[in-house]
Amino acid sequence: MKNEAVSGHRITCRAVFALGCFVFIQLVGARRAQAETPSNVERFELLGSLGYGVAVRDVSWTNSEIDPYGVMVGLDFGYTLPFGLRIGTDVNYGFGRRIEYTDWKGEANTTHASSIIWGGSLGYDLLLPSFRLRGAADGGLLLWLVEDGVAPTLYFGPKVALIWQYRTFELGLQTKYLVTVPGVVQVGLVSGARF
């Protein structure tokens, strides 16, 4: 029994070592990945996003529970200066989801809400041999589209993305946190082009 645990431990160590070597090769750029030069960084960028948004606690509107985020799609447009500073704007639409609940009177209720998020961002692109790491500060307008009206609020918060680029095509992962009441975590894929 003890020998099986040792061989399992050895296999795990070898797998971790192999994964570490792979990551090292990617970061060093052994695949002949060329680091971007400042002239390649200075460009416009248009990205589409597909993700999911989750409120950090329950959301209510006029004593009704709502979930205005759920699956989200969006567009992000920006310009990166030669030294890595990026100025951009983005818009996202959250499809939300239908919630069925029982209110304090014991009556069954169903609500549906969606959301529109529009804002600007100021960030920095850190160039790595095969990837670009983007950190940004976002701020803008958040609209909850509920059955009986629109609820506007402002938001701000951090955004982080890891983007892989092949010529003008880009693909990456992005997450952002919207500081509002209540806070929102959004995670998703981004893809697009630089021109």
Q: Which residues does residue 163 pair with via DSSP β-bridges, in sequence order?
A: 132, 172
Whole-number Å distance between alpha carbons of 150 and 143? 7
- Say which range, 11-25, 115-129, 133-147, has the weakest mean pLDDT: 11-25
Tokens of 39: 């002239």
Residue 20 is predicted with a pLDDT of 63
The more confident residue out of 126 and 25 is 126
pLDDT digits (tens, 9 = 90+) for 7-66: 555 666 666 666 666 556 555 543 444 445 544 678 899 999 999 999 887 777 776 778
pLDDT digits (tens, 9 = 90+) for 150-164: 989 999 999 999 999
Residue 130 is predicted with a pLDDT of 81
CA geometry: angle at 153 spanning 48 and 189, to 5°? 20
3-state secondary structure the chain: CHHHHHHHHHHHHHHHHHHHHHHHHHHHCCCCCCCCCHHHHCEEEEEEEEEEEEECCCEEECCEEEECCEEEEEEEEEEECCCCEEEEEEEEEECCEEEEEECCCCCEEEEEEEEEEEEEEEEEEEECCCEEEEEEEEEEEEEEEECCEEEEEEEEEEEEEEEEEECCEEEEEEEEEEECCCCEEEEEEEEEEEC
Q: What is the pTM of this model?
A: 0.75
Residue 107 is predicted with a pLDDT of 86
Distances (CA, A) of 59 to 56, 68, 130, 183: 9, 8, 40, 10
Q: Which residues does residue 113 pair with via DSSP β-bridges, in sequence order?
A: 146
- Say which range, 54-63, 87-96, 136-145, has the weakest mean pLDDT: 54-63
pLDDT for 89 beyond 90: yes
